Amino acid sequence: MNYIDSAALREAMNRLGRERTPFLWCASYELDKCFIIENPSMQTEVLWQIGNAGNAVDTAPKRTDRVMKITGAVEREAYSVMFGIIMDGLRRGDSFLANLTAATGVECGCSLKELFLSSAAPFRLLIEDEFVCFSPEPFVRIEERRISTFPMKGTADASCPDAEERLLGDYKELCEHHTIVDLMRNDLNSVAEDVRVDRFRYVEEIETSRGRILQTSSEISGMIPEEKTGLFGDIILPLLPAGSITGAPKPSTMRLIARAERTPRGWYTGVFGYFDGHVMQTAVMIRCLQKQADGSICFHSGGGITVNSNEDEEYAELMAKVYLTEDRNKYPGNGD
């Protein structure tokens, strides 16, 4: 794999977009590791799936609920330190919302490629034997001049009584969602015109190996100036990292996150996308397994923290998100 920097990625995305040449691209959270592949359906070095497009072998989903076990969860005390750093920053006014993440050590009974092939998520990516992603979260979609984004914030156990009503009525989740919608609307305003919230806080159900969960999302859209049509590098890269996995305001929140998390996220919470010559679809790389330098594997997860957050509940949410996904029909955006 030939990795490039973000400047080279921007130039290539602009050129191929204007030429209407199909391409696959990917950028890490820190934007220090990127790649771009022309006509990606014809190669097998990177396996990928975005909606109905991709080069993955069409195999029936296999059950994966018993192939992964946790071996090195972040210690409760260590998480408390990280959480405390975030809360101090929130009280100072450095941030209104910060997405705190951690890596959980896991062991798998199969390869990363087998995990990729058995997942039914709408956004999948496998980078050799180093990283696999099976994400439910779209980022931006661009068709001609129209750009849309779909921030996901707010999760609940669907099996709980009145789960949807409780999720929509949760004050902390509501504040978090308002914040991320405002952030993404402002981000789109930097590259588009006539930006508006088309749908606010709608609920979708996701089936996981640990049961059903509910997730709230919103849809925001705008119009790209005609002179920028096809300049995907100039349009998308200024929006990175995604607001849903950083927070608001973004620059100071990212500095706060770096102090709390201490280690780079790598591919996790980066963004990848595919342009088919007409439509650009992209996704945030959550629900990921990433190989470390020592050969161990980590499953990364996290959640949004506000001044109303409860430490015990946030730690429980972080651990609850360590799962492998199964049901092809339960994913939002699967038919896109």
**Token pair listed for 276:** 């088919």
Residue 334: the pLDDT is 28
**What pLDDT does residue 211 have?**
63
Report the pLDDT value the prediction gives residue 330, as an integer from 0 to 100.
35
CA distance 295 to 129: 10
Helix (H/G/I), strand (E/B), else coil: 279? strand
- The pLDDT assigned to 62 comes to 55
Q: pLDDT value at position 279? A: 97
184 Rama sector, left if φ>0, alpha if ψ -120 to 50, beta otherwise: alpha
What's the rounded Cα separation, in Å, for the pair 301 and 303? 7
SS percent in the chain: helix, strand, coil, step 5: 30, 35, 35
Per-residue model confidence (pLDDT) at position 331: 30
CA distance readout (Å), 231 to 78, 154, 177, 225: 43, 32, 30, 10
Question: CA-CA distances (angstroms) from residue 34 to 143, 166, 198, 304?
Answer: 23, 40, 32, 26
Alpha carbon distance 183, 249 (integer Å): 7
| DSSP assignments along 157-211, one per residue | ETTSTTHHHHHHH-HHHHHHHHHHHHHHHHHHHTT-EEEEEEEEEEEEEEEETTE
CA 213 to CA 200: how far, in whole Å?
Answer: 19
* pTM for this entry: 0.87
Give 284's strand partners: 271
Question: Distance between CA 224 and CA 145 in Å, rounded?
Answer: 5
What residue ranges of the chain have pLDDT lower than 50?
60, 64, 326-336
Helical (H) or strand (E) element with 103 = strand 97-108
Helix (H, G, I), strand (E, B) or coil at 311: helix
Helix (H, G, I), strand (E, B) or coil at 244: helix
What is the CATH number assigned to the segment(s) 6-145+222-330? 3.60.120.10
For the chain, the domains span: 6-145+222-330
Between CA 285 and CA 136 the distance in angstroms is 9
3-state secondary structure of 17: helix
> What is the 8-class DSSP label of residue 156?
E
